[in-house]
Structure 1
Amino acid sequence: MTAAPESDPGRLLRPFVLTSGGVDDTVPVLDLASMVVAVRSPGDGAEVDPERAAVLRLCTTPHSVAEVAAMLEIPPSLARLLVSGMVAEGALGVGAPPDSHPTDAMLHAVLEGLRAL
């Protein structure tokens, strides 16, 4: 096992530190395929720890919890807890926003799918 590089002190933190002690029992823990999107930016007045700020910057476009884990290089279980807590706080929304202007190709694909039924 290799030691964490000195330039990355975050690797020495325990997961409960990154998740502020875990998630309350009333907050549903998301699965790895859940899509999340930032509801606010990291600089919207509230002081945010570096991990949460990184999630907010990453999720300006919708990403799955698995993608968040991979891009932040944290265990998937930790990403699920972190993102679930941020959803409970209102910093992240679940699900991708609907496309207000569907393309002709997408509408055609839907029509073909309906005809196949």
Structure 2
Amino acid sequence: MVENALVAEDIEAAGQLVSFLDDHGLAVRGALWLYDSDAERWRFVIAFKEARKDITSFYLDVAKATSKAGTQNLLDLSRVDIVDPDRSIFAALKGVIGVEGNNRVRFSRNRINGVYLEDAMIYRLPA
């Protein structure tokens, strides 16, 4: 299924996920929707402030936390990629743009530090 449109429902659900994780002790350092034109789909990418050797443990903690969300409209975790903030798209964007709190910035068709971003919706990115 082609997911080349980022719809309002996904934008809101992702924002609620970021807030929910912050509120439940999983401090988000960076978060953005990233369009992958090769796969013709959007992926929500998150990096946490806490450093861990095993990124997989974050998936488990996020799944445990969101299982208690009840009726909140959170983004489905099958659409989420958790990455190391120092070895990912966040490292390339560091110092270029800062987005804090629950703001959103659209970033399209730009090359930053050698990385081409076809399209991105940035929720959080330290300056």
Under a length normalisation based on structure 2, what TM-score does the superposition of the two structures give? 0.28
Under a length normalisation based on structure 1, what TM-score does the superposition of the two structures give? 0.30
More strand per residue: 2
Specify the structure having the higher radius of gyration (Cα).
Answer: 1
